[in-house]
Structure 1
Amino acid sequence: MLKEITPLILTYNEAPNIERILQSLTWANKIIVIDSYSTDKTLEILHSYPQIEVFQKKFDSFASQCNYGLGKISSEWVLSLDSDYVLTDELIDEISALQAETAINSYSVRFKYCVFGKPLRGSLLPPRKVLYKREKGIYQDDGHAHRVVVEGNSIILYSHIHHDDRKPLNRWLSAQDRYMVIETQKLLKTPTSELSLGDRIRKRKIIAPLIILIYCLILKGGILDGWHGWYYALQRVLAEILLTIRLIEAEKLQN
């Protein structure tokens, strides 16, 4: 089935990450990259791989970038990836054993979050639909994130993708603050009855960072991962604190 798949990747200044995902895609005949006008060495790295086609588009939203990318793909199947993902050998073997002609229209994959290359026992990352039939999928924005909506049957694969972001902390902080502005608008504009349990807790503000700390360290076993687990837990707590501050600010400005 691998020959029927085209990987799709979004990039913007991903030089610290992009090499690792590309090294796990050497089996692909063609890779489509939608770049938001990177200014670091991302394009230099991409152009060193002959099977990569790069299209540049000014960023407006993740869903818009992905839907634009789908229009550049002609294969039946799409493998939608972030620049900080790494496909495990087990996942590649599992995908290669799939049948191209099937009643299944999409496959979801579980993630292992990595801190400086070390996979953690658990994280907040849910399974995500990453492999699907191109003609069945369309992307929609969901808060600061995005998701693909795929018609028809879907199953979860057994193997994992590693999420291994090595960008500097200042890039992470800047991105999280932008994301939390968008999340704030989503939480304030969406009726509480339509929010997930997690988002309802986040809307309560102060309690969410404390719950996240306990969830990451105890329920997800992060305390057993040593300083890597603490690093991840503190990252997630910091992100929730940013959201809490943004929520308080937005609510006060409305009064």
Structure 2
Amino acid sequence: MELTSITPLILTYNEAANIDRTLGRLTWAERVVVVDSYSDDATIDIATSYDNTELLQREFDDHTSQWSYGLDQVDTDWVLSLDADYQVTPAFVEEVHSLEPPPTLAGYRANFTYCVYGRPLRGTLYPPRVVLFRNERARYVQDGHTQRLSVDGDVSELNTKLKHDDRKPLTQWLDNQRRYARLEAEKLTQADDVGVTDRLRKTDVLAPLLTPLYCLFIQGLILDGWAGWHYTLQRTYAELLLALVRVDARLRDDSDPTREGTA
């Protein structure tokens, strides 16, 4: 696959802690599209310091609309969709360059090495994601607090992992989790056909209890020192917050006198 046929696409909002490391590994691309939601930190200055980067700004409404807007700005056949805290390795670029996708293939899925302040973990709950795809054969749909890529065609697996290394301040992560928990709670309430993880979450008990055990002992993060504990505590906090939002909503509904009158 010719690298000139690929446009990396990135969304940003106050990603000064990450975006330089991400863009610094994309200098092989002729054009990188960054869609920014009016950051008020150094994100814009960093992004525009790269000659191959085109920064566009759009007021954020939801992830699906933001990504879809970004796809509309891409004029190459292939899109490399990256979060602002993903790092592309030289081995990844080499593998992509060696690809010879048949016409029926619509995209490629990548796994991730999760890093905590640059320290790679031996395991993660972070799911694989379709990151490289034909622009005309894929579109984003909203899925809870984030987005899901709907691909029309076959998807193959990449052998080389991307790095996920988010170094934004913990306070920013905590603020985001409150919003994510509300959106995930709405998704779970509306969903009937869910996978194993969401079935555990719908119990409002099992996911917060099992997450630290799974991270530390099944994934082996107890062997990764403080970085492993940091990740485990983050994931446990996220599950606890989601359970709390759902239980709080249930108790509020149970105490609503108008509901008693309509029962």
Task: Kindly report which structure 2 residues correspond to 1:49-128, keeping only aligned pairs within 5 A, or say none.
Answer: 49-99=50-100, 102-128=103-129
Measure, in 2, the Cα distance between the counterparts of 1:54 and 1:231: 33
Distance 1:207 1:178 in 2: 22
Equivalent in the alignment of 2:186: 185
| Cα distance in 2, alignment partners of residues 100 and 79 from structure 1 | 15
> Paired residue for 2:252?
253
**Alignment of 1:233 onto 2:221:** no
Matched residues, number: 253
Q: Distance in 2 between matches of 1:63 and 1:104?
A: 23
Partner Cα separation in structure 1 for residue 128 and residue 165 of structure 2: 16
For 1:121 and 1:100, the matched residues in 2 are separated by 30
**What's the % identity of the aligned pairs?**
46
Structure number with greater Rg is 2
2:30 corresponds to which residue? 29
Asked if the contact 1:4–1:100 (Cα under 8 Å) also holds between the matched residues in 2, the reply is: no
Deviations 1:150-188 (A, max 9, x none): 111111101111110000000000101110000111111
Q: How far apart in 1 are the matches of 2:205 and 2:155? A: 37
Q: CA RMSD in A?
A: 1.0
Q: Give yes or no for contact 1:136–1:150 (8 Å, CA) kept in 2.
A: yes
Which position in structure 1 is the counterpart of 2:48? 47
Q: Secondary structure at the match of 1:159?
A: coil
Q: How big is the shift at 1:101?
A: 5.8
- The TM-score with structure 1 as length reference comes to 0.97
Which structure 1 segments of 5+ residues have no match? none
In the TM superposition, residue 55 of structure 1 has moved relative to its aligned partner by: 1.2
Query: Does the 8 Å contact 1:108/1:130 carry over to 2?
Result: yes
Unpaired runs of 5+ residues, structure 2, are 255-263
Aligned-partner residue type, residue 208 of structure 1: A
Task: Tell me what 2:260 maps to.
Answer: none
- How big is the shift at 1:206? 2.2
